[in-house]
Amino acid sequence: TSFALRSYNHGEYHAAVGCRDGSIQIRAITCSLSEKLPAPGTLVETIDVAGSVSATSCIMSLAWSNCGIYLAAGRKDGFVDVYKRECESVSGKYSNYFFKTLHRIVASRSIIRGLDFTADSQLLMTGDDNGRINVYEIQRKQAVKTGWYNGHNSWILCLVSHPDSRRFITAGADMKVNVWDVSSRDCVHTFDGSHSDMIWGVACNEEGTFLASCGDDGKMVFYSSDVR
């Protein structure tokens, strides 16, 4: 139901695949000449929240942190799980990766369809079907909510961090793209009128100079993101 790709050193890529049964599969998807890397398609790890009431709640969104250590999963029941990546050598051939649950966050009473880490991996933002955005500090013993926003008039369907870590972008069923300031909690700009149907995807280039959105109207729209 959800997919997120993460690159590591030496041409290694891992894909996190969220499943309807609540589990997450981590798969190696890269061809490499190195014998230390698993073959493409290898199931590296299956993450399950054993013993949890919401362990079978469908995965609706996934995000890797830029540092590669954390993986966040948004669920249909409003829970957000944050996992920490660990590794160990197996027979000297390649690293065996596994994930430990770092935080379980009751983020909402509705579906979490959008989430992302800031570029510096310090904060996690989540967006739900009530149009609400929450911000959490995750590099603590317990996740701490540091901010919240009434973001949209309807479902938030996608969320992405700006490379400067000071801003993030949301879009959703109200056909708007909003740019937010993390510290002030203000919406610093709204792109409205570009789409005639729900917006399901938003992205930002590495330099942070432009945004792109796509929706059910079949359009892909590009915007300048030089918003101060």
Q: Tens digit of pLDDT for each residue in 137-196?
A: 988 877 788 778 887 989 999 999 999 999 999 999 999 999 999 988 889 999 999 999
pLDDT digits (tens, 9 = 90+) for 68-100: 889 999 999 999 999 988 877 666 555 566 788
pLDDT for 57: 83
Full set of structural domains in the chain with CATH: 1-113 (2.130.10.10)
Percent of the chain residues past pLDDT 90, beyond the cut? 47
Percent of the chain residues past pLDDT 70, beyond the cut? 79
Backbone Cα Rg of the chain: 18
Return the residue matching tokens 């609540």: 22
Average pLDDT over residues 203-216: 92
Q: Nearest to residue 126, comparing CAs of 104, 159, 164? A: 159
pLDDT for 8: 63
| Region of poorest pLDDT, from 7-11, 60-64, 127-131 | 7-11
pTM reported for the whole predicted model: 0.83
What token pair was written down for 93? Answer: 């051939």
123 near 173, Cβ under 8 Å?
no
**Listing from the earlier edge strand, what are the strands of the sheet with 187-192?**
156-161, 167-172, 176-181, 187-192
- What is the residue-averaged pLDDT of the chain? 83
